[in-house]
Structure 1
């Protein structure tokens, strides 16, 4: 069998055209703010109504994360499934529960959960009102590598389902193979024992030099073991803004409460302002300078930020070194933009409401 390549042009021309086409297609699909009111929900075979903020299944392709919204009616239990990627959940309205590998976790508005890769999971609603939650997953990144796999189990009893994929324990020895077995076994042990739930009632927001107060929702710093997605929430004081900065990778901000606008531009000046309100997702991409401003003179704005940090961004940092991949203005400019958060009379923290 011949292995001769017959493209009729050099690999240089093929790669150059392919790269140019990729960027052209990518820019066509890029949106800066996805309005919550523009996301259509569809009834699915799982028993949920699901809509896509960002992701190929909603014709808004992304490269590392997707963002979906789900509603489940009173008395409904979804089917079981699992997948090779993990997902973060932020609960918006109603009260419901998740079952993760047979463990039930009840949740309310403002709670967040982690669905580990290959864990069997489903959701249910035992209440009297519709429950609503968002999911943010690493599915696009795994699909890029050809490793995105999903398995649907319908209503099969949990006791009859296979466990997560097995792995070999470590072995003695100082050779490369023994080292790899031990290293990967330790990693799997850690990932399968990570935290699964953060209750809104346990949150404590802390002032930051960027003019906001903030807290982790899902992150390795508070015991989660994920594929690199991190979820935090920050609160912007009335009439104030978060200081400007920029970084690579996809960062999404779901507006939990409030209204405002975000500055996005290739330079710290001369960019565009993009308005947002409760229920929208702000898409920060392309290494843009950005700043988020609360336009309400009386009420704070709460925003949940989702970023693929530990895996993708850390890899990019290594590959792009010595290029600086996180930039802020000098401290005196940052402080002038942000203001002193200790001078703000921050309100008591209450669970979010919908709509």
Structure 2
């Protein structure tokens, strides 16, 4: 028996209305600067406190990545959970540990971590009154959950306080049999990808960072990226430092870019053209949101101290796909070298301070 599926209006009108509403909601909830005060911490059943900078669980929607802040008190261990997306962690205050598929990693301010897809993980802070430090562990997470949700593949599993040895492993992957048919090739290709992703790096210590000067007026380093051994879903995380009273050169690209202010005060220019846009002030703990294809430039307003900013985007997956689809359009654009160098100034004249772990607040 067959049935007919009909609507009172054509598919054209349904889709047009749906798309219009999404864009209107997006614009209504857009923020260029999300203040640290805009992400109040709320107790959760995991044992941590969580605040939403950007994400569907707050009031600022996104389609690619979310940005959350977490705190764990001394003596507390969160529940263990896993999910179908991966997440990047940036520790901004306190000390503690993460346990990823049974591997314990001690962390401190400035450290970064990768929580892989389907990896069981939890975090905690050991209570040690004799040490004299009773501050909570505070960290940011940036995950690809919104993109997975868009495709109907967002899955979250919480196992409470179960021991890792009792938990099921990550989903198995068939290695595939010899052969040159399309299915055999697919089995082997997917198996290779999963083997690579499941053998990626998990932790970058602040003490191991080395910042290098760039032509854009900053010194910078990777925190999480395939260039230093990580196997993620395309989210990359790098830190750049702006000299006292200096600035980064202007550029633009599609997609969202997020910049978490690890230390310092300053402002960012954003506009549809290199001139005539707006300046947005920021401070430590704020999140700078760069909208798609806006010219933008970041300034350190402190004449005596540097500013440290952590940049997060999905360049190695979403943006690279957009570049291929839109080719030959230029989707990452900088001004000509002579203008770029004039904007950036001579970074060799900056006396960079020794790199000290960040503190919170």
Q: TM-score, normalising length from structure 1?
A: 0.98
CA–CA distance in 1 between the matches of 2:186 and 2:38? 47
2:260 is the counterpart of 1:262? no
Match of 1:186 in 2: 192
Q: Which runs of 5+ in 1 are unaligned?
A: none
In the TM superposition, 1:38-187 aligns within 5 A as 38-127=38-127, 128-187=134-193
The two structures, once aligned, show a CA RMSD in angstroms of 1.1
CA–CA distance in 2 between the matches of 1:254 and 1:59? 18
SS in 2 for 1:97: strand
SS in 1 for 2:76: coil
Q: TM-score, normalising length from structure 2?
A: 0.96
Match of 2:34 in 1: 34
Cα deviation per residue 1:119-153 (whole Å; 9 max; x = unaligned)?
A: 00000101532111111100000000000000000
CA–CA distance in 2 between the matches of 1:231 and 1:273? 24
CA–CA distance in 2 between the matches of 1:353 and 1:103? 26
Deviation at 1:118, TM superposition (A): 0.3
SS in 2 for 1:306: strand
Cα deviation per residue 1:234-257 (whole Å; 9 max; x = unaligned)?
A: 000111110000111121100011
Match of 2:235 in 1: 229
CA spacing shift, 1:337–1:159, aligned 2, 3 Å:
same
> May I ask how many residue pairs the two structures share in their alignment?
355
CA–CA distance in 1 between the matches of 2:13 and 2:142? 37
CA–CA distance in 2 between the matches of 1:194 and 1:318? 26
2:257 is the counterpart of 1:251? yes
CA–CA distance in 1 between the matches of 2:90 and 2:48? 16
Deviation at 1:5, TM superposition (A): 4.8
Match of 2:20 in 1: 20
Q: Which runs of 5+ in 2 are unaligned?
A: 128-133
* Match among 319, 328, 331 for residue 322 of structure 1: 328
Deviation at 1:6, TM superposition (A): 3.0
Deviation at 1:7, TM superposition (A): 2.9
